Amino acid sequence: MLNLVFLGPPGAGKGTQAVRVSAQLGLPHISTGDMLRSAIREGTEIGLKAKQFMDAGNLVPDEVVIGIVRERLAKPDCAAGYILDGFPRTIPQAEALDMVTEITAAVNIAVADEALVTRLSGRRSCTKCGHTTHVSMYAGENCPVCGEVLVQRDDDKPDTIRNRLAVYNKNTQPLIDYYQAQGKLTAVDGSQPVDEVFGAIIGALTGQAS
Ligand code: AP5
């Protein structure tokens, strides 16, 4: 069983890699960002609570996010493992996670801040199927997977990106030490091309040279 956490700053490629690793290893991909954006689109109570925090690039309160992750991990498809993308993001979230499950490995995808700003400001996402691309990789206006229009995420504007990076440094970076202390941290150089980052992650998880 592989219970995985993908760590890394905004734009490190957690979502991009989680989609690929999920397909390769047959594990469900659980993205708290995607779950919250879908709650906002559906106008649920959680979505209404989350919107103001997300639009400003701040973290949604721990109790809200911990609740939705607990519920999701209790579903049958998580019994044989899962990939958590964007959770935990604070020490209290990591402690709450440790109370309901045992994490096998935390994959930390590291990328320098300057590259993150370029990645986030050029990111385009599909509102229908969630596919993510970048203006430097794909010039079309419609999703190459489902044909829906691609949009820029509301929190991918310059000021919000800066705040998200500051929030990451303050609240989420301490998780690197948290998982290191548990002997569960796997560090990957996220500045490489997408295929190479993927190879490095699979290599680290399966114990093969990449
Ligand atoms: P969330 O959706 O989780 O955003 P994030 O962590 O800021 O991460 P991103 O989705 O921005 O980046 P990513 O690392 O997945 O990179 P991607 O693969 O897209 O969270 C959004 C908000 O929700 C938070 O700010 C918060 O408000 C709330 N939230 C979510 N979880 C929460 C929690 N646990 N607690 C509290 N609040 C929470 O790649 C980025 C771009 O780079 C793409 O264009 C991609 O094509 C490109 N790219 C990817 N890999 C490479 C590569 N190797 N080389 C070149 N380009 C690449």
Beta-carbon contacts of 34 under 8 Å, excluding residues fewer than 6 positions away, are: 15, 130
- 186-to-106, 108, 158 alpha-carbon distances in Å: 6, 6, 30
Residue-wise pLDDT for 152-195, tens only, equals: 998 999 999 999 999 999 999 999 999 999 999 999 999 999 99
Question: 132: closest CA among 152, 105, 108, 118?
Answer: 152
CA of 127 to the centre of ligand 1 (A): 15
Q: pTM of the full predicted structure? A: 0.95
Lowest-confidence pick of 5-19, 61-75, 82-96, 127-141:
127-141
Residue-wise pLDDT for 22-39, tens only, equals: 999 999 999 999 999 999
Residue-wise pLDDT for 93-126, tens only, equals: 999 999 999 999 999 999 999 999 999 999 999 9
pLDDT at 208: 56
Residues with beta carbon inside 6 Å of ligand 1?
A: 8, 10-16, 32-33, 36, 53-54, 57-60, 65, 86-87, 89, 93, 119-120, 123, 132-134, 155, 164, 190, 193-194, 197
Residue-wise pLDDT for 47-65, tens only, equals: 999 999 999 999 999 999 9
CA of 137 to the centre of ligand 1 (A): 17
pLDDT at 130: 87
Report, as an integer, the average pLDDT of 4-29. Answer: 97
CA of 100 to the centre of ligand 1 (A): 25
